[in-house]
Amino acid sequence: MKKLWKILLGIGAVIVGILAMSSKGSKKQFKKDVKENKKKKKNIKKKTKKLKKEKKVIKEKIAKTDAKIKDTKSKMKNTKSAKKTVSDFKKKYRSKK
């Protein structure tokens, strides 16, 4: 029984040793991938900040434009009564040719 456990323990040690040796390469690759991801993350943060600034500027422009439109509309006169007068005039005088 002791011999069987020693053999199983030896086989287990060999398997663990193989896994430990093979994991070193993947650990280097993992660290490399982590560095690349950090670089990508920094780039994305920079782009996000830039886009937020642009968005803020665009919102300000839209607000100014909306204010101009509102001001222009408030200064315009209503032409509804003038159109009605013209149509009444046409009905009264132009249709009797």
- What local confidence, expressed as pLDDT, does residue 76 receive? 84
State how far the Cα of 68 lies from the Cα of 76, in Å rounded to an integer: 12
DSSP 31-92: HHHHHHHHHHHHHHHHHHHHHHHHHHHHHHHHHHHHHHHHHHHHHSPP-HHHHHHHHHHIII
Taking the alpha carbons of 21, 23, 25, 27 in that order, is the dihedral positive or negative? negative
Predicted pLDDT at 96: 58
* Residue 23: count of CB within 10 angstroms of its CB: 11
- Per-residue pLDDT tens, the chain, 97 aa: give them: 778 888 888 888 888 888 777 766 677 788 888 999 999 999 999 999 999 999 999 999 999 999 999 999 888 888 888 888 888 887 777 765 5
